[in-house]
Amino acid sequence: MQPSRQPQEPPLLRLARRLQAIAQTGLTYTEGIYDRQRYLELTELAAELMHCSTDLPVIELRELFARQSGYATPKVDVRAAVFQNDQILLVQESEDGLWTLPGGWADVNDAPSEAVRREVREEAGLEVRVTKLAMLLDRSLHPHEPPFPFHVYKLFFLCEPVGGTLQPGLETRAAAFFARHDLPPLSRTRVLPEQIQRLFDHARQPELPTDFD
């Protein structure tokens, strides 16, 4: 049985995120002009509350929320734990110069394993075989920094290299393998040290069940 976790984010952020989801779903299904106006007001309120929790500009949040449509559901972030000689593959992000597991948002029409293989190919130049879903985590239950405006599920897959050439991609500065206790500075918005340590456990003990939440 998985241990229960408490949210790691400010309560006001979680409230703002919930309001935005209600408003987005309401705007999708309502046919009444007055209800639509009320949902738009909820969207504005969500943006103002989220600004108080994240310091993101209200105008930026308004534009971000305006681009969302359909029933509100969590977004899916896939990450690859590629192991070779008891070392894990990390890539250096061009955006902030910090290191993370290859990965990103899952694309429409990609199966999860296809999405993670594509991310490794694009960010590190390697072809991989996906062997296991090691962890499926709710980002909000873990101390990622900074908080994210939307609810996110993070999928971590164990992978084995089967081809390609190790090299950075368009969004990465470098790609390299690192030992368990010799990790570079990590991008905590994307991956946490304890998550990488747990992935080493999964690599060494393939019989471990998938971690979740």
53-65 pLDDT, tens digit each = 887 899 999 898 8
Which pLDDT value is given to residue 4?
A: 57
Q: What are phi and psi of 56, to 5 degrees?
A: -70, 140
Apex CA 29: angle with CA 27 and CA 33, to 5°?
Answer: 60
Apex CA 136: angle with CA 132 and CA 139, to 5°?
Answer: 145
Given a cut of 60, whether residue 202 has pLDDT beyond it is: yes
Given a cut of 80, whether residue 1 has pLDDT beyond it is: no
Structure tokens belonging to residue 162: 């089967």
Over range 18-44, report the average pLDDT: 91
pTM more than 0.75: yes
pLDDT one-digit tens code per residue, 75-110: 999 999 999 999 999 999 999 999 999 999 999 899
The Cα 45–Cα 27 span in angstroms is 15
pLDDT one-digit tens code per residue, 185-200: 999 999 999 999 999 9
- The rounded percent of the chain whose pLDDT value lies above 70 is 98
The secondary structure of the chain, three-state, reads CCCCCCCCCCHHHHHHHHHHHHHHHHHHHCCCHHHHHHHHHHHHHHHHHHHHHHCCCHHHHHHHHHCCCCCCCCEEEEEEEEEECCEEEEEEECCCCCEECCEEECCCCCCHHHHHHHHHHHHHCEEEEEEEEEEEEEHHHCCCCCCCCCCEEEEEEEEEEEEECCCCCCCEEEEEEECCCCCCCECCCCCCHHHHHHHHHHHHCCCCCCEEC
Over range 163-167, report the average pLDDT: 97
Over range 101-127, report the average pLDDT: 96
